[in-house]
Structure 1
Amino acid sequence: MTARLRPELADLPAYTPGKTVPGAIKIASNETVHGPLPSVRAAIEKATDNINRYPDNGYVELREHLAKHVNFSPEHISVGCGSVSLCQQLIQITSTVGDEVLFGWRSFEIYPLQVRTAGATPVQVPLTDHTYDLDAMLAAITDRTRLIFVCNPNNPTSTVVDPEQLARFVEAVPSDILIAIDEAYVEYIRDGLLPDSLGLAHNHANVVVLRTFSKAYGLAGLRIGYAVADPDIITALGKVYVPFTATSVSQAAAIACLDAADELLARTDAVVAERARVTAALLDAGYTVPPSQANFVWLPLPGRAQEYARAAADSRIIVRPYGEDGVRVTVAAPHENDMFLEFARNWIRDA
C-alpha cells in the first residue's frame, strides 16, 4: 500500500542548500569565516554536561539576555531553531488556504516553499534595481493579504531598502497585516542605511523583527534565532512552536555570544572591508554588482548563472546560483576571496 500524500507536494521543490565539495572553497552559504570565541566554546562544552536533559523550552535565561540586548521586555521575545523556523511559525499563525503572503522576488528561497506548504498563496513582487520595491508591494496588498516579508538586507541580492521608505511603508500597511522584517544580515549594514526596525516594532503591534545567530555570531551549525514582537504575537508563535527545537547547547552558545557581542560584532568590520575590496575588483573586471550591505555579493548573470557556477566548481570554488538569474558569492577569508577573484576575472575575460 502506498501512503496517500498531499497531492500539491508533487509540484513543491525542496529547499536547495549551498553545495559542499571536499577540497573546494565554499563561498555559497554566507557562513562567517571565524570560529567561536574561547568563551563561547567553553559555554558549549559546559552545556554538554547536561545534554541528557531536555533544554529549557521557555528559554528563560536566553530571553532575558536578548531582552537586554534589544531593549525590550522578555515577553516581546520568541526563540526559534534559526530565524527560518520563526518564518514558518509566522506563516502558520497568519495564513491558510485562500490567504496571501507577500514578499519581494527574488528573495529568500524558503518563503514560497513555506507559504505553499501552509496551503496559502505566495505573492512575489518583482524587485527594482535588485531591491525590494515597497511601493509595488503596497500596490499588491489585497483583502487576502495576511503577512508581508521584507528581507533586509535581501538574500540573495544583498541590497537594503531606504530606512525612511521602510518607515513610511510600515505606516501605510493596514494594521491587521503582519509585517516581518527579516534581518539575518543586519550586522553588516553600513553607510547610514541601518533601519530602526526595533523602533518600528515598538511603535507598531503588527511589526515583527527576525534576527539570527547564524551569521555575524557564527552559530550556523547550532541553529538559533529570535523574534521581537508584540506579546500577543509572541504568544501565538508559541502555540505553533515545535517543543525543544532550540537545544540547551545552542541556548548556552547564544548567551555566551551576547556576553561577547562587542568582540563578535567587531569582526564584521573586517568582512565589510573585504566586501568593499571584492566589490571594487568585480566592478573593475566588468561585472554588474549591486551595492551590498550583507556578507555576500550578488552577480546578476541572466541566462548564464548555472554555467558560471559549473565553471567555478571546475576551479574548486563553490558559489550559489539562483536559477538563471544570478550567482551569490559569500565574502570569505582574504585568500579565498583572491582565489574567487582570479576565477572571476578569467571567466569574464573568456566570456
Structure 2
Amino acid sequence: MTFSRRQFFKTSTGAALAIPLMASLDIDPCEAATGVNYDLSMANPEGAIRLNFNENALGPSPLAVEGAKAGLAEGARYALGGLLKPLIGEHLGIDKDWILMGTGSTELQRLAPISHLQGGGNVVSGYETWGGGLVVADNMGADVKRIPLIKDNGYSFDIDRMLAAVDADTKIFLIVSPNNPTGATAPYAQLKRVADSLPKDVLFVIDEAYADYLPDSFKTGLDLIKEGYSNVLVTRTFSKAHAMAGLRSGYGVAHPDILAKIAKFGCGPASTSIVVFGAVQGALADMEHARKSRAHVEECRAYYQGEAKKLGITSVSGVPPFILFEMGERSEALVSELRARKILISNGKSWNMPNYIRISYGLESENEAFFKAFREII
C-alpha cells in the first residue's frame, strides 16, 4: 500500500504545526515558533512518567503524523470514515462492508450492549478483564455474569465455566484476547469452541485491542469471521501498537447485519475526524512501525520479568505492553507512593485483582526510573 498525502487531500499542509503531544512541555517549540502557548499538560501532567494507560511509548509512525497534519490542514471539512474501510479491509483481508469505524474500539464495545440488550438479557464475561461494554450493561440493569479467570494457568479464561453460565437469556459473550490486564491470549481452538457452542442469537464479542502484538501467523477472532461465523464481533484499535490513543480510532468487524444493528446507536459516518482520517492512512502504510512497537514490547517484557525475578516478585504477563506484579496488601500504597514521585501505574483492584499492580512499558529511561523508585520504596 502506498501512502500519498495528495491522495485524499488536495491542498498542501504548508506550515502545519507539529505538536509534541507526549513530550515534556518545559521547552515548547510551538510556542517559540508561533507565540501561542499550547497547553497540552493533560498529556503529561506535571512531567509525570505515565505507565498506567498502556500507551505506546514509541509514539505514532512518522507517516501517521504526516497524515494527521494533512488532515488538520483540511479541518474545515467533514471526513467520511467509511472511506477508510477499503484500506482496512485490504489490510485485514476482509470485505469493507464487514467493517464499522468507531471512535476507538471502546465505542464499539459500549454500543454492543446498547444495541443487543434493548429487550433485556444477560452478559457472560471473565472477571479479571477490561470491559468498557460491561459498565454499560451494568448501567442498563443487565445481569453481568463475571466468571473468575484461572489463576494457575496465567489468569486465562475459564471457558468451561463461562459456557456453563450461558442460558436462554444470554445476549452477549465477551472475551478480551489478548487480555487486559493479565496478558492471556485465547488459542484459536478455544475461540472456535465458543463460537460452535453459543446459540446463533448470542453475540460473541472478541476485544482484540492488543492483537497487533501477536505473531503474524497467530489465528484470532478475525479468522472465525472469515470462516463464516455470523454472530462474532471483533473490535480492534489504532490506540496501541499504532500509538494513536489520543486520536481515538478503532473499528469493528462482523456480519453486516450485526454492524447495522450497532450503527443505529452510534458510529455515524462523520464520527471519524479528518485528522484521524489522515493518520490512519499513514499508519496502515507503515506496518513496519507497528512491528517495531512489538519488538520494543518484547524487550521491555524480558527486562521487567528479569528485574521482578531478581526482587523475588511474582509477575504475570503476555504479549501486550504491560505486566502485573503481585504485591499483596501493599499494592494500593505502592501506587500512591509512586504517584508521589510522579510515576503513574495502575492498581489491580479495578479488575478484581487488588493484590496486583499493573505497569505499562515505557521508554528505556522511564522503565529504569520506575525500578529505581520501586526499589527505594519496597
Give the TM bin, normalised by the shorter chain: 0.7 to 0.9
Residue 319 of structure 1: how far off its partner (Å): 0.3
The equivalent of 2:341 in structure 1 is 315
Tell me, yes or no, if structure 1 residue 233 matches structure 2 residue 258.
yes
Equivalent of residue 222 in structure 1, options 243, 247, 252:
247
RMSD of equivalent CA atoms = 2.1
Tell me, yes or no, if structure 1 residue 343 matches structure 2 residue 373.
yes
Residue 39 of structure 1: how far off its partner (Å): 2.0
Residue 109 of structure 1: how far off its partner (Å): 4.6
Residue 19 of structure 1: how far off its partner (Å): 10
The equivalent of 1:201 in structure 2 is 225
Residue 140 of structure 1: how far off its partner (Å): 0.9
Residue 247 of structure 1: how far off its partner (Å): 1.0
Letter paired with 2:68: I
For the structure 1 residues 211 and 308, does the alpha-carbon distance in structure 2 shift closer, same or farther, using more than 3 Å as the test?
same
Structure 2 Cα separation of the partners of residues 153 and 128 of structure 1: 15
Letter paired with 1:54: Y
Structure 1 Cα separation of the partners of residues 191 and 363 of structure 2: 33
CA contact (8 A) 1:97 1:119 kept: no
Structure 1 Cα separation of the partners of residues 198 and 376 of structure 2: 47
Structure 2 Cα separation of the partners of residues 289 and 51 of structure 1: 45
Secondary structure of residue in 1 paired with 2:366: helix
Count of equivalent residues = 328
Secondary structure of residue in 1 paired with 2:251: strand
Letter paired with 1:340: F
Residue 292 of structure 1: how far off its partner (Å): 1.8
Secondary structure of residue in 1 paired with 2:168: coil
The equivalent of 1:137 in structure 2 is 162
Residue 118 of structure 1: how far off its partner (Å): 3.0
Tell me, yes or no, if structure 1 residue 51 matches structure 2 residue 75.
yes
Q: Which moved more, 1:288-297 or 1:36-45?
A: 36-45
For the structure 1 residues 38 and 291, does the alpha-carbon distance in structure 2 shift closer, same or farther, using more than 3 Å as the test?
closer
Secondary structure of residue in 1 paired with 2:329: coil
The equivalent of 1:167 in structure 2 is 192
1:275-325: per-residue Cα shift (whole Å, max 9, x none)?
121122112311111232210001233433211101212332110113224
Structure 2 Cα separation of the partners of residues 325 and 247 of structure 1: 40
Equivalent of residue 85 in structure 2, options 63, 66, 69:
63
Secondary structure of residue in 2 paired with 1:205: coil
Secondary structure of residue in 1 paired with 2:138: helix
Structure 2 Cα separation of the partners of residues 131 and 19 of structure 1: 33
The equivalent of 1:296 in structure 2 is 322
The equivalent of 1:6 in structure 2 is none
1:58-83: per-residue Cα shift (whole Å, max 9, x none)?
x2321000110110111000110000
The equivalent of 1:276 in structure 2 is 302
Spell out the pairing of 1:103-122 with structure 2 (5 A cutoff).
103-122=125-144
For the structure 1 residues 275 and 62, does the alpha-carbon distance in structure 2 shift closer, same or farther, using more than 3 Å as the test?
same
Structure 2 Cα separation of the partners of residues 19 and 110 of structure 1: 22
CA contact (8 A) 1:134 1:166 kept: no
The equivalent of 2:293 in structure 1 is 267
For the structure 1 residues 327 and 270, does the alpha-carbon distance in structure 2 shift closer, same or farther, using more than 3 Å as the test?
same
CA contact (8 A) 2:102 2:267 kept: no
Letter paired with 1:41: V
Q: Which runs of 5+ in 2 are unaligned?
A: 1-41
The equivalent of 2:49 in structure 1 is 25
Tell me, yes or no, if structure 1 residue 146 matches structure 2 residue 168.
no
CA contact (8 A) 1:83 1:224 kept: yes
Structure 2 Cα separation of the partners of residues 242 and 268 of structure 1: 29
The equivalent of 1:126 in structure 2 is 148
Structure 1 Cα separation of the partners of residues 111 and 187 of structure 2: 27
Letter paired with 1:312: L
* TM-score, normalisation: structure 2: 0.81
Residue 191 of structure 1: how far off its partner (Å): 11
Structure 2 Cα separation of the partners of residues 241 and 191 of structure 1: 31
CA contact (8 A) 2:207 2:236 kept: yes
Structure 2 Cα separation of the partners of residues 319 and 341 of structure 1: 12
Structure 2 Cα separation of the partners of residues 52 and 196 of structure 1: 39
Q: Which moved more, 1:44-53 or 1:226-235?
A: 44-53
Residue 50 of structure 1: how far off its partner (Å): 2.3
Secondary structure of residue in 2 paired with 1:115: helix
Letter paired with 2:225: A
Q: Which runs of 5+ in 1 are unaligned?
A: 1-17
The equivalent of 1:12 in structure 2 is none
For the structure 1 residues 143 and 325, does the alpha-carbon distance in structure 2 shift closer, same or farther, using more than 3 Å as the test?
farther
* TM-score, normalisation: structure 1: 0.87
1:21-49: per-residue Cα shift (whole Å, max 9, x none)?
41221100011112233322221111122
Structure 2 Cα separation of the partners of residues 201 and 334 of structure 1: 38
1:206-264: per-residue Cα shift (whole Å, max 9, x none)?
11111000011011111000111111112212211153332111122112111112333
Tell me, yes or no, if structure 1 residue 77 matches structure 2 residue 69.
no
Residue 337 of structure 1: how far off its partner (Å): 0.9
CA contact (8 A) 2:55 2:360 kept: yes
Structure 2 Cα separation of the partners of residues 331 and 292 of structure 1: 12
Identity percentage of aligned residues: 27
Equivalent of residue 99 in structure 1, options 117, 121, 124:
121
Tell me, yes or no, if structure 1 residue 189 matches structure 2 residue 219.
no
Letter paired with 2:363: A
